[in-house]
Amino acid sequence: MSRPARLILDRAPSPIGELLIVTDEAGLLRAIDFHDYEPRLDRLLKTHYGAPRPDVGAAPATIRSALVAYFAGDFAALNTIPWTTNGTAFQHAVWTALTEIPAGQTITYSELARRAGRPAAIRAAGHANGSNPLSIVAPCHRVIGMDGTLTGYGGGIERKRWLLTHEKAL
């Protein structure tokens, strides 16, 4: 588990609510969430980093501009955001697999488990997906139920629907 010397919290507007962007002193994204889930973000930071509240400051311009570009329709901009975060090896495999789902496409939880290298671990893949600290950047909104239904999303189903519609996956 790598503990950064410092965590920095920035806030940025988006079409679906204010984003909370947590970076480290090296300019790497550590977490991103929505303003109405700030207590969850605080718990995540405490769990992963044992850290007190992050310092208030600006995220690197490259991260902010990539998020603006994504919301403007440049979906590949997310792939330019450098990130690292703590978690288990399997969680990292799941989160990395999420980053490899192209915008405009969706996959099922069973496919996510397969892509993470453990095809029988569907529930574990779902749990790792649900604890993804990199909302939007590791696009967990692109994972749907076997029957095509929109299943749980940490930012709420309406945001998931908006993101998938934005990416023309719906």
DSSP symbol at 134: B
Question: C-alpha distances in angstroms, 20 versus 59, 109, 153?
Answer: 10, 26, 17
Q: Which of 9, 41, 137, 140 is catalytic?
A: 140
CA–CA dist 140, 68 (Å, integer): 19
CA–CA dist 17, 123 (Å, integer): 29
CA–CA dist 60, 68 (Å, integer): 13
Q: Counting beta carbons within 10 angstroms of the beta carbon of residue 75, is it exposed (0 to 12), middle (13 to 18) or buried (19 or more)? A: middle
Active site residue 147: no
Catalytic residues: 140
